[in-house]
Amino acid sequence: MILRLAAVCERAQERPDGRLDLSGIFNDLSAPGFPAMQEHMTVVFVVEWEADETGELPLRADMIDESGRKLLTIQGHTQVEARSADRSPPQTRLIMPLEKVVFPKPGRYRFELVAGGDVADACSFFVGQVTA
């Protein structure tokens, strides 16, 4: 598994021509107090598979706080088809809109992706408190 793209943004969509459109990519959020809630956000992962990784493979993304506590889990499977060497490697594109995500305290949060038995630090962002 090769993690080609990981982002947290406002919106994302895959176009009919296969391109991805991401809007409002961010690496920090501000809140007036904690616990804080983000009404809408989208997490995007693009995974490229190695030649020996085929069939139904498990996928899991965990949002983890600075203490290592898992706060949110996205879990499922992907079907990876074998491809000949004259074609681009197979990819899985996960576009996951999230609603009402709660952040218990200020600090750095990160997504860890577990796919096909491999683990990758996917992306991180900071949630801070707005000061008057």
**Predicted local confidence at residue 52, as pLDDT:** 87
pTM: 0.92
Predicted pLDDT at 131: 80
| Rounded Cα gap, residues 54 and 78, in angstroms | 10
2 token code pair: 């090769």
Asked if CATH classification 2.60.120.10 holds for the domain at 2-11+23-129, the reply, yes or no, is: no
Can you tell me whether residue 77 is helix, strand or coil? strand
Q: pLDDT tens across 11-63, in order? A: 999 999 999 999 999 999 999 999 999 999 999 999 999 988 999 999 999 99
